[in-house]
Amino acid sequence: MLDIEQTYIVYHKMVFNTALHYLQNKEDAEEVTQDVFVTVYNKQAAFEGRANLKTWIYKICINRCLDCIKAKKRKKRLSSVWTLFGDMPLHNNIAVEAFHPETALVHKEALLQLMNQIQKLPDQQKTALILSKFEQLPQYEVAEIMGVSVKAVESLLYRAKQHLNTMRQKK
Amino acid sequence: MKEMNKINVFKDMELEDQFSLLANHEHIAPSNDLLHKIQAQISWQEQALWSKPKTIVMLSIVLVVVMLNALTIWSASVKGPMDALQMSTEFTVNNQLYK
């Protein structure tokens, strides 16, 4: 039986910060963190120590973050449709609220720009970048979490950087 | 002006340097009450009626009994008039034969 309090103490910062990198919003990141630990508790029987606990929690976290982004996009599309029919408020048409400790510093504007660009990357590239560069996980661990080969991770990172450079050149 | 210069310097930095700047920070913690929220959600789930296997079995049995009763009542309501019809037909035929 998994001690959820102990698991939370060990992994809560890891989960919260990964979610924060994905979602750029503190409230959403907290919601995802809560969801992740409840899922970990509920699905512990399915886990059965087949993989590394950290890897498994990362996987759940990434899936929840992607679900959250999809749900937000859906809401955004819906509210855009509603605006066509009347004066419905565009609730979710708010600019990405970039949240990062470093944004409090002088680099705020440029960092916000970079983080917004990262949000525009395809899901796989974004995941590889966040895990490898921000969470600073070794590539074999990123590959394990994403369920791909190390070569594939290398390729995803290369393409992500290319994408970002193209976006920067367009600016 | 000094600020602007710093921003421009940052923009020109290689991507890798920017990544390391973003990565090299202390992991920040979520709200203090998040653990309590998680524990509350878990205990709510455990107490929830539909999450207990015993309750599911009991509810299934009740559902089957109710459906069987309904089937019996329905078949009786259909069978009753059918039997009456059959009896009256037999009576008419018998009457015709004995005439």
Task: Compute the 3-state secondary structure of chain A and give helix, strand, coil in percent, each to the nearest 5.
Answer: 75, 0, 25
* Residues of chain A contacting residue B10, judged by C-beta atoms under 8 Å apart: 107, 110-111
Report pTM: 0.69
Question: Of A13, A109, A165, which is closest to B15 when you measure between CB atoms?
Answer: A165
Distance CA(A7)–CA(B51), nearest Å, equals 23
Mutation site, B8, B25, B26, B27, interface A, largest A CB count within 10 A: B27
Nearest chain A residue to B36 by CA distance is A5
Distance CA(B3)–CA(B14), nearest Å, equals 19
Confidence of residue B40 (pLDDT cuts 50, 70, 90): very high
3-state SS assignment for residue A121: coil
What pLDDT is stored for residue A1 in this prediction?
74
Confidence of residue A59 (pLDDT cuts 50, 70, 90): very high
Q: Which element (helix H / strand E) includes A92? A: none
**Residues in CB range of A92: below 8 A, 6 or more apart:** A72, A75, A76, A79
Condensed to tens digits (0 to 9), the pLDDT of residues A144-168 reads 999 999 999 999 999 999 999 888 8
Measured between CA atoms, how close is B49 to chain A, in angstroms?
16
- State the complex-level ipTM: 0.74
Residue A63: name the closest of A52, A75, A55 by CA: A55
Are B42 and A38 an interchain contact pair (Cβ–Cβ within 8 Å)? yes
Instruction: For chain B, give the percent of residues with pLDDT over 70.
Output: 64
Question: Of B10, B22, B35, which is closest to A134 when you measure between CB atoms?
Answer: B22
Mind giving me the DSSP string for A140-159?
HHHHHHHTS-HHHHHHHHHH
Query: Which CA distances in Å does B5 have to A66, B1, B10?
Result: 36, 6, 9
Sign, Cα dihedral of A60, A62, A65, A69 = negative
Condensed to tens digits (0 to 9), the pLDDT of residues A70-92 reads 898 888 777 766 666 655 544 44
